[in-house]
């Protein structure tokens, strides 16, 4: 997925000001990709995903978006090697 630019495209959908439903789906997709794949985790990090996810943790975002963002940040902390 990373080699095709898919991870970068999903990270871009997490950008501030995006539609919450789109951010929720992008975060869910990235969570699935990063659950057991170090390369996808690295791709999220390299594309600025951590900053984007932290930006979603604000109270103005729906709870579902915040929960998925927090879960994905947790997945990025897991060593899959």
**Does 51 reside within a domain?**
yes
Six-digit token pair at 72?
A: 């994905």
Mean model confidence pLDDT for the chain: 91
Is the confidence at residue 2, as pLDDT, over 60?
no
Is the confidence at residue 1, as pLDDT, over 60?
no
What average pLDDT does this structure show over 17-38?
A: 93
**2 vs 65: CA distance, rounded Å:** 23
**Does 14 reside within a domain?**
yes
User: What is the domain extent for residue 10?
Assistant: 2-76
**Does 81 reside within a domain?**
no
The pLDDT assigned to 36 comes to 80
Tens digits of per-residue pLDDT, 30-50? 999 998 889 999 999 999 999
**Does 63 reside within a domain?**
yes
* Nearest alpha-carbon partner for 70 in 56, 60, 80: 56
Domain count, the chain: 1
**Does 72 reside within a domain?**
yes
**Does 53 reside within a domain?**
yes
Instruction: Please indicate whether residue 80 or residue 25 has the higher confidence score (pLDDT).
Output: 25
């Amino acid at each position: 997925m990373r080699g095709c630019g898919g991870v970068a495209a999903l990270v871009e959908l997490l950008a501030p000001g995006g539609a919450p439903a789109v951010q929720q789906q992008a975060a869910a997709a990235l969570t699935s990709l990063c659950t057991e794949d170090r390369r996808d985790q690295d791709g999220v990090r390299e594309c600025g995903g951590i900053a984007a996810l932290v930006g979603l943790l604000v109270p103005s975002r729906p709870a579902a978006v915040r929960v998925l963002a927090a879960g994905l940040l947790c997945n990025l902390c897991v060593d899959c090697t």
